[in-house]
Amino acid sequence: MTTERESDQLLVERVQAGDQKAFDLLVSKYQRRLMRLVSRLVHDPAEAEDVVQETFIKAYRALRHFRGDSAFYTWLYRIGINTAKNYLVTQGRRAPTSTETDAEGAEGFDDADSLRDINTPESMLASKQIAHTVNAAMEALPLELRTAIVLREIEGLSYEEISEVMACPIGTVRSRIFRAREVIADKLRPLLEFPVDKRR
């Protein structure tokens, strides 16, 4: 039985031998996962899709140099993240600073205030508020923290895999994920310490 990594490597070797259809199979397998990752970094869906397309093109061109030292998907994610970063730079955008993080987080709470007035069952409202607050806090995170926590929580990568993707030590991965969680948890605190039914 082959592992996922081995089956990817088989397809990679076929691509390296000139079989473009094998690359189509890798695209089909990874396009949604890559979109899920990139759309957390580049928020406009059309722009995120362009970054995904560019990532696959860069990967295809660079594949002749891929030796399989790492898993194909960690290599692909690394290209995707670098392509997204470069895209943000060329668009004149940058990751928010920690000061902006606080400011944007505060904006999120204005929205949360308005959500409290929506007349829905309170448990649903609480869930919506939590989801809204978590996602608003995520968007305001510095890019390195956001990337680390997305790779862990959404893509399910191990710290070792994330260190490969982000080209940093495992200790840095651990620290980035912790710091991301702390920032998000801090934004959640008002919602959790003063639940909906006790606020009015």
Partner 1 sequence: MDTNETLRAHISALVDGELPQADVELALAALQEKDGKQAWDRYHLIRDALRATPAPDLSPGFAERLAARLAQSQSQVPSGGAGTDDGGTGDSGSATGVAAPGSLTASLANPGAA
The contact pattern for partner 1, residues 47-86, with x = CB under 8 A and - = no contact, is xxxxxxxxxxxxxxxx-xxx--xx----x--xxxxxx-xx
178 contacts partner 1 (rule: CB under 8 A): yes
200 contacts partner 1 (rule: CB under 8 A): no
- How far apart CA 10 and CA 184 sit, in angstroms, is 40
138 contacts partner 1 (rule: CB under 8 A): yes
| Beta strands in the chain, from DSSP E residues, in sequence order | none
Contact 163, 177 (CB under 8 A): no
Q: Nearest distance from residue 67's CB to partner 1, in Å?
A: 8
- How far apart CA 160 and CA 43 sit, in angstroms, is 27
DSSP assignment of 44-97 equals SHHHHHHHHHHHHHHHHHHGGG--SSS-HHHHHHHHHHHHHHHHHHHTT--PPP
Residues that bind partner 1 (CB under 8 A): 20, 23-24, 27-28, 31-32, 35-36, 39-40, 44-62, 64-66, 69-70, 75, 78-83, 85-87, 89-90, 130-131, 134-135, 138, 149-150, 152-154, 158-159, 167, 174-175, 177-178, 181-182, 184-185, 188, 192
